[in-house]
Amino acid sequence: MQSALIAVQAILVIALIAIGVHFKGMAIGLFGGLGVLIFALVFGVAPGPVPVSAMLIILAVVTAAGTMQLAGGVDYLVSIAEKLIRRFPSQITYIAPLVTFLFCAGAGTGNIYYSLMPVIYEVSFAAGVRPERPLALSATAGQLAITSSPVSAAMAAMVGLMGPLHFHLTDILMIVFPSSVIAILVGAFVMNRMGKELADDPEYQRRVAEGLVTPPSADGAAKEISGKAKLSAILFMAGLAAIILAGLFDQVHPHVVSKGESIPLDMSLFIQMTMLGISAVIIAFCGVSASGIPKSPLFASGLVAVVALFGVAWMANTFIAANETVIVNELGELARRAPLMLGVALFLVAAITTSQSSTTFSIIPIGIALGLSPGVLAAMWPALVGVFLLPTNGSQIASVELDQTGTTRIGAYVINHSFLVPVIVFTVVSVGLGLVIAAL
């Protein structure tokens, strides 16, 4: 009877997440809140803990990012990335995804790719490189970067979950960052051998013959970047560096006095106060109006993430807290024998929900409840790149539409799209290497 009840509750959680995904945006959080209400009123289950710390980290980070964006700092970061990509045109299959990864990790959002996408296409086309290769790799690398970003919404969720286990931001980064970078290099090696060369591709030849391909034109006019824009980006990156250094080195980690005793400052709180402080400094010295911050795209998307995280994580916590004993007893042995099953769950749930932060809060607590080590959980976490398993993401569709050569495509069977190989390679290599690093 109890197993049947748990199954019904699990189906309810999955169904509400699916409905939220259908309505898009913050709807996933709203339907998560509805789930908590149903758990309380129908099943008599006490609401689980609200992920307050993670929500506050996201708010603080997107406030700083939005402030930097208003000052023009994001444009400055994109201009630097463009120069790096243009400098090595023949190696764009390697350079473009690495640059995209680094800049998306630094900014905490995969949306940086949208600004780099035309440059990647233009340079690859001009160099005679099949555009599918760098475009598919870079779009996917932008999503892989989320689990290597100290300031992403997903990382805020992960830090909040791992903190009580004494596994902190830098511990996570030491596993996921090197494994992700190597995964990108392996992915580029594999993609360089996928498909025909551009000049030999039959679809490209057909489009050229029909006059459907227009060579991209770059007028070479770089967007003018103000000094205040550069300063805002420098300040944001300085805050990011301070957070990383504080996590890496005890000597620079701030201490505070509590009840007459000097103790390390909680890392979650340090991230929040640092990002809010950076926002204040940017406002003071970079000519940004505070009233405009809520209107910035980065802040708006971050606010959606907060609401989504609020509801879906609250619902998942409620379900897990109510059934933790049974979950541990039934699944514990399976997870100990085959811990990779949790990685599979991360991959598939991310594909279904298309939300890395929501998936983190839905699946990682199960791994914690099953007694998996924090290192193993961190190693499997990059499997969230499964958000690209189905070609429903905006950056995937935009890449297909941009590539006039027709090499970047969504196949007749939907699942056979240009991004599938990078998704599979990134997942297998990053998780596999992550498990090795965690073991060491």
**Residue in 376, 386, 364, 365 with CA at minimum distance from that of residue 336:** 376
Residue 200 has pLDDT above 60, yes or no: yes
* Predicted confidence band of residue 185 (pLDDT cuts 50, 70, 90): very high
Across 177-321, the runs of DSSP E, i.e. the strands, are 255-258, 261-264
* Predicted confidence band of residue 43 (pLDDT cuts 50, 70, 90): very high
Neighbours of 206 (CB within 10 A): 12
pLDDT at residue 279 in the model = 94
Residue 300 has pLDDT above 60, yes or no: yes
pLDDT at residue 137 in the model = 96
Cα distance between residue 294 and residue 300, in whole Å = 6
Report percent pLDDT > 70 for the chain: 93
Residue 30 has pLDDT above 80, yes or no: yes
**Residue in 216, 278, 269 with CA at minimum distance from that of residue 246:** 269
Cα distance between residue 124 and residue 214, in whole Å = 14
Read off the pLDDT of each residue in 282-290 and give the average, rounded to a whole number.
Answer: 93
Neighbours of 37 (CB within 10 A): 13
Residue 19 has pLDDT above 70, yes or no: yes
Give the CB-side neighbour count of residue 366, counting CA atoms within 13 A. 27
* Predicted confidence band of residue 222 (pLDDT cuts 50, 70, 90): low
* Predicted confidence band of residue 285 (pLDDT cuts 50, 70, 90): very high
Q: Which two tokens stand for residue 63?
A: 């406030």
Total number of domains in the chain:
1
pLDDT at residue 36 in the model = 95
Residue 71 has pLDDT above 60, yes or no: yes
Residue 404 has pLDDT above 90, yes or no: no
Q: Are 151 and 275 in contact (CB under 8 A)?
A: yes
Out of 114-123, 186-195, 210-219, the most confident range is: 186-195
- Residue 311 lies in domain: 2-439
pLDDT at residue 94 in the model = 94
Out of 11-20, 81-90, 153-162, 429-438, the most confident range is: 429-438
Residue 109 has pLDDT above 80, yes or no: no
H-helix segments, 338-419:
340-353, 356-369, 374-380, 394-402
**Is 163 buried (19+), middle (13-18) or exposed (0-12) by CB count in 10 A?**
middle
Read off the pLDDT of each residue in 131-151 and give the average, rounded to a whole number.
Answer: 92
